[in-house]
Chain A
Amino acid sequence: MKKISRRNFLLASGVVTVGAALAACGGSSSSTAASSAAPASSAAASAPAAAEGKVLNIWCWNDEFQSRFNDYYPEVKEIAADKSTTTLKDGTTVKWTINANENNNYQNKLDEALLNQDSAADDDKIDIFLIEADYALKYVDSDYVLDVKKDIGLTDSDLAGQYQYTKDIVSVDGSQRGTTWQATPGLFAYRRSIAKEVLGTDDPAEVQTYLSDWDKFNDVAAKAAAKGYKMLSGFDDAYRTFSNNVSAPWVTGTTVTVDENLMKWVDQTKEYTDKGYNNKSSLWDSQWASDQGPTGKVFGFFYSTWGINFTLLGNSLATPTAEGGKEEVGNGIYGDYAVCEGPQPYYWGGTWICGAAGSDNLETIKDVMLKLTCDEAIMKQITMDTQDYTNNEKAMNEIASSDYKSDFLGGQNHIALFAEAATKIDMSNAGPYDQGLNESFQNAFKDYFTGNVEEDAAKANFETAIKEKYPELTDVVWPA
């Protein structure tokens, strides 16, 4: 159960500080966003075709997109007191269906609804649904999703500003089937004080030279251990940096191929565990959280955009803000973190918007995608208001080259690093099985790290688990 909250936690990607978008009912901020976006919005958008349905059904698993929509979609007229509907200026009613993801509940219900899409009345048909990176291809690689260019009508130039990897993840055979408003490149956040003691420097550029590949990273781990520090907190901290850099997709035909890079993760993590380079925690558990705080003895954490200024910051304080603590140097280890690129580029999290086949609101869907994922002005506005790292290279580069500084990171402009990392992410090997296989892989090998089973038994357990999840997968090939 905890795992589920974690996953949703991380999928939710994006933003940064707490002071964000609770902005009452979006009335004021949406109007500012609308006015700032005015030049970019075309006249066509406000006059949808006559055949458009009057109800736009949006399915999601939490209210993140809902608040973005209510706050930044220029056509929003009013929002119901219970937030269950939003009315657009042309009279269209947006109906929100939010199903929590616990127990796979969101996907179960979405599947049922999509399978019944044909027989549903027009106003009950799903028009837009949201997906996470982990299982994006399950939906993208199906007949239930619209091509954003061919079916919905976005053009290459509309999408030109978006980071390539955010398009690759939701593309099948060159057909892009979803768009997102956020990019979630990851970095390695380290403790300046520990780096100084272990490496003699806390300068991000210099620390990066010590961590630029895995061999060097392992050397630093040994040095840190010699000084009584742990390099990483848990087993899975580094997993994404390995799994995002595989040489082929997980599955071809019905054969699962375990990438060599993943076995490197296994070997490295086993070594770290046996030598005490990690603290044997798991993502999101209390050990992991407290390792990020004032009493932590961990060198650093792999975190993406949203994790740094929210989760890491919150965990680093000695006195939480709710108890009167201030987000300032002196409270816990505020100011003691810095970020560098680390050994390999990766991303963590992300939510995509998909148009559902059978929708009778194509024009509205197009406009929503245009305004909320392609519009540079709105993207920048979202970043300014919420510190969400948005999916627009130009807007982000502007902030990167500004004099933006993060006090939490000791005055570093981390947006610059994010902007650099985001272009290096290569997700062309993403596949529909990623979530299930990655989860089973981490889970099976955790028993190996903790010493409960031998490596061969962990491999066998992985094979058993994936055949339960995906009966169609017949063979598993391990690297020689």
Chain B
Amino acid sequence: MSQNETQPSAPQSAAAKLFDLRVLIGGLFTFYGMVLIIAGLFASPAEIQKASGININLWMGIGMLFVGLLFLLWWRLRPLPPPVDPARDDDAASSQSHHAS
């Protein structure tokens, strides 16, 4: 396939614009964590008994909150590099247009 070399007007990849998933995972788990902690705080004795005496909502909630905050922390501390303009970045352009012989 030689589209990128013979047609200079071929569209450039937009893949660099892909959003950072970590904020979504972090957000979801933080939210779920808080929801489960609240559910755990209001757990009835019957529910705890069913779960072999463990307030599993509370513990999973704490765990998920922790994981969620870790992801958000990672997202904050190591943000994705800003998308590079493909026309300026020669290496990216040549590696993208490189094709099977």
Note whether A and B form a binding pair: no
> Residues on A close to B: CB < 8 A?
none
> Residues on B close to A: CB < 8 A?
none
